[in-house]
Amino acid sequence: LEELSARITIDRPVYKQTLSDRNKNDRNSLWRSYCFEWQCRPKNFIKTTIPSINWLFNYNWKEWLIRDIISGFTVAVMNIPQGMAYALLGNVPPVVGIYMAFFPVLVYAFLGTSRHLSMGSFAVICLMAGNIVATHSSVPTSLQQHPVVQSNYTGYSPMEVATAITFLVGTYQVIMYFFRLGIICTLLSETLVSGLTAGAAIHVLTSQIKDILGLKLHQINGPFKLIYVYIEIFSKLDTVNIAATIISAITITILVTNNEMLKPLIQKKTVIPIPIELLVVLAGTLVSNYCNISDIYKLKTVGHIAVGLPAPMVPKFDLMPAIAVDSAIVAIIAYIISLSMALIFANKLKYEVDANQELLAQGCGNLVGSFFSCLPFSASLSRSALQQSVGGVTQLASIVSCVLLLAVLLWIGPFFELLPRCILASLILVALKGILMQAKDIFQIWSVSRSDGFIWLATYFTVITVEIEYGLLVGVIISILILIVKGARGEICLLGRVPNTEVYLEANIEPKAEFIPGITIVRYCGSLNFINKSYFEKQLMRNLDIIKENSLNKVNPDLNRSKEIIIFDLKSLQYVDTTGGKTLKKLIKSISDHQIVYIVGLSETVINVLQSLDVFKDCSVPLMPTVHDAVITAQAKSLDPVYTVRL
């Protein structure tokens, strides 16, 4: 301990906690607070359900409007190439990526609580949905003979499977909202999500190699598919399309040069970046149109893009049982990724994000999108960061972006039909840099916590070697097991008092802490439940046996007739279940037959549990608010201290 110049002088009565009827009345407070969320006035309900009302009525038109317009225009420009590229990951037409940046985003703009998220297509979510599409949609006969292709022909088109996935994802998210399961984000730690997305980025990268090199590969799905894919890639290197490879190399060089060299220089002059992705797409389309390189060099192009908005289409409900489990995983991952990004901006800019409302916003967005040919949508970190950095203040920026994309859908879409797919694949590859670089996080994570590092590595390598869904499952299982193991080992220690103070610290750590003659202070930190009740009981009784043995060896036997005082400091007891409460009751009853017991610092929640088990009726044990209150009370009742106890 380090002494400071300031002094603390306290003169107050000694206090003792009392049990009252209010504890019993609060037993169902959690359930009542849950129900109260649904018992609000219509006006408050509307404001909570449609958060955009708050910022629309308080909108600073003079200062914010121009910033949101500039931000929305910039994001729309970025959405065009990214949307088309990420749609290819979902095994659907490129125009679907623009649909995703329009229909569900309009819904989120009014229902979401994040002011800066740019929703729409995201590589990892599109890839996960694309795997489901590839598995359950029609597969050409020529591919069914391949030994590692899971053809599972059903007769559904890719768009029918995609919209069914989106409908299920939206349904799951809305159901989670009604059950207030926004807390589910705490089950997937930041470490787990980092390992999952970093591993999924390897899948995204691999999926683009065929377009970058101009290869024709079979559709491969299922566990260990990356191994089969790379085997096939290396076996077909002699069929590489040289033109596609050169175009990809030029595109990647231009994008990397801009991102690493030009962008930092431009940011010193203006926050509005050069729309390099759109310029590359426009240049590639113009060259392809006027030089006819797609026909001359046999390049794969984007293909037909329908003009106008898609006609509403009811999802295929008979397909949904087959994709229900996979869609649930997509729903959770999409929500976790979006919420994590929303919290980053909320913490940075000092505003609140409602985790449950985010479920409703994303769920409704997906439900609407499922009727308009959309894949499940999610937040994009790169677009969100851009939306905030160029001055976006509210979701009006997203609405502006949607208006501009509507013009693309109505008039400009067919212009991109001859765009070589190798250019879109190059855009995806360069955009993956940030996610791929998350692999470096493992060094910091491992140095801080070995258990977190193990979760990251297990998730990352399972995603890469097996499949994304299995990586999520492994990460969750390991996280739960680690929590159980750590939760099963609460900490028991002895406290000593710093002389002439009311400060009590661990005696084996703080040299100034001294044991009090005749009084043993035991602190327990952690939970007490059916998992660790045996450990708690054994450790406590072992320590008390040592105390008893030491005292008998060191103290005059005539003095042993006085009862020793045991003070249990339980202010760090976080949770007690029925089994743990019964264990504590048994121990208190057993110990109080031979020693005087005081209990310190019980929370109201723990008191409620112990009251329901009649602990205080069967065991006459004083409850004290602080350790010092217990010590003063014990010393006042026993003016003749007996001995000092040490472990």
Alpha-carbon distance 532 to 478, whole Å? 19
Mean pLDDT, range 249-270, rounded to an integer:
89
Give the pLDDT confidence score for residue 97 in this predicted structure. Answer: 93
Give the pLDDT confidence score for residue 340 in this predicted structure. Answer: 85
385 and 531 inside one domain: no
CB 303 within 8 A of CB 211: no
Across the chain, what does the average pLDDT equal? Answer: 84
| Residue 558 banded pLDDT, cuts 50, 70, 90 | very low
> Residue 149 pLDDT more than 50?
no
Question: Of 309, 414, 302, which is closest to residue 372 (Cα–Cα)?
Answer: 309
Is residue 218 situated within a structural domain? yes
Is residue 482 situated within a structural domain? no
Alpha-carbon distance 164 to 168, whole Å? 6
For the ranges 105-119, 299-313, 628-642, which has the lowest average pLDDT?
Answer: 628-642
| Residue 110 banded pLDDT, cuts 50, 70, 90 | very high
Sign of CA dihedral 627, 632, 636, 641: positive
Q: What DSSP line would sit under 146-176, residue for residue?
A: STT------S--HHHHHHHHHHHHHHHHHHH
For the ranges 171-180, 452-461, 526-535, which has the lowest average pLDDT?
Answer: 526-535
| Residue 90 banded pLDDT, cuts 50, 70, 90 | very high
425 and 570 inside one domain: no
Is residue 254 situated within a structural domain? yes
420 and 494 inside one domain: no
> Residue 539 pLDDT more than 90?
no
Query: C-alpha dihedral over 530, 531, 534, 538, to 10 degrees?
Result: -130
Give the pLDDT confidence score for residue 284 in this predicted structure. Answer: 93
State the Cα angle at 511 between 508 and 516, rounded to 5°: 75
Residue 117 gets the label, from left (phi > 0), alpha (psi -120 to 50) or beta, of: beta
254 and 403 inside one domain: yes
Burial class (CB in 10 A: 0-12, 13-18, 19+), 613: middle
420 and 496 inside one domain: no
CB 638 within 8 A of CB 562: yes
SS3 letters across 56-109: HHCCCHHHHHHHHHHHHHHHHHHHHHHHHHHHHHCCCCCHHHHHHCCHHHHHHH
Is residue 454 situated within a structural domain? no
For the ranges 137-141, 348-352, 517-521, which has the lowest average pLDDT?
Answer: 137-141
For residues 485 and 462, which has the higher predicted lDDT (pLDDT)? 462
Give the pLDDT confidence score for residue 150 in this predicted structure. Answer: 42
Residue 585: how many CB atoms within 10 A of its CB?
18
496 and 427 inside one domain: no
| Cβ-based neighbours of 438, under 8 Å, separated by 6 or more | 194, 197, 198, 201
Is residue 604 situated within a structural domain? yes
114 and 208 inside one domain: yes
Is residue 599 situated within a structural domain? yes
For the record, the structure tokens of 258 come out as 């801009």
CB 645 within 8 A of CB 621: no
CB 519 within 8 A of CB 596: no
State the Cα angle at 213 between 207 and 216, rounded to 5°: 70
Give the pLDDT confidence score for residue 39 in this predicted structure. Answer: 57
Bridge-based pairing of strands 596-600 and 565-569 is parallel
CB 215 within 8 A of CB 233: yes
180 and 281 inside one domain: yes
The CATH number of residue 538's host domain is 3.30.750.24
Give the pLDDT confidence score for residue 317 in this predicted structure. Answer: 93
Sign of CA dihedral 292, 295, 301, 305: positive
Alpha-carbon distance 36 to 26, whole Å? 14
For the ranges 6-10, 100-104, 386-390, which has the lowest average pLDDT?
Answer: 6-10
Residue 270: how many CB atoms within 10 A of its CB?
9
Partners of 562 in beta bridges: none
Give the pLDDT confidence score for residue 622 in this predicted structure. Answer: 87
421 and 502 inside one domain: no
Domains held by the chain: number: 2
> Residue 377 pLDDT more than 80?
yes
Burial class (CB in 10 A: 0-12, 13-18, 19+), 12: exposed
> Looking up tokens 């009542």, which residue turns up?
32
Give the pLDDT confidence score for residue 143 in this predicted structure. Answer: 39
Mean pLDDT, range 590-615, rounded to an integer:
86
Alpha-carbon distance 247 to 446, whole Å? 40
372 and 432 inside one domain: yes
Domain boundary among 406, 439, 472: 439
Is residue 44 situated within a structural domain? no
- Domain of 528, in residue numbers: 489-637
User: In 3-state terms, what secondary structure has residue 46?
Assistant: helix
User: In 3-state terms, what secondary structure has residue 250?
Assistant: helix
Sign of CA dihedral 372, 378, 383, 384: positive
> Residue 640 pLDDT more than 90?
no
| Residue 37 banded pLDDT, cuts 50, 70, 90 | low
| Residue 546 banded pLDDT, cuts 50, 70, 90 | low
412 and 535 inside one domain: no
Task: Give the pLDDT confidence of 1-24 residue by residue, as tens digits.
Answer: 677 677 777 777 887 877 754 444
CB 331 within 8 A of CB 173: yes
493 phi/psi in degrees, rounded to 5: -145, 165
User: In 3-state terms, what secondary structure has residue 525?
Assistant: strand
426 and 493 inside one domain: no
Is residue 206 situated within a structural domain? yes
Give the pLDDT confidence score for residue 103 in this predicted structure. Answer: 96
For the ranges 170-174, 255-259, 413-417, 638-642, which has the lowest average pLDDT?
Answer: 638-642
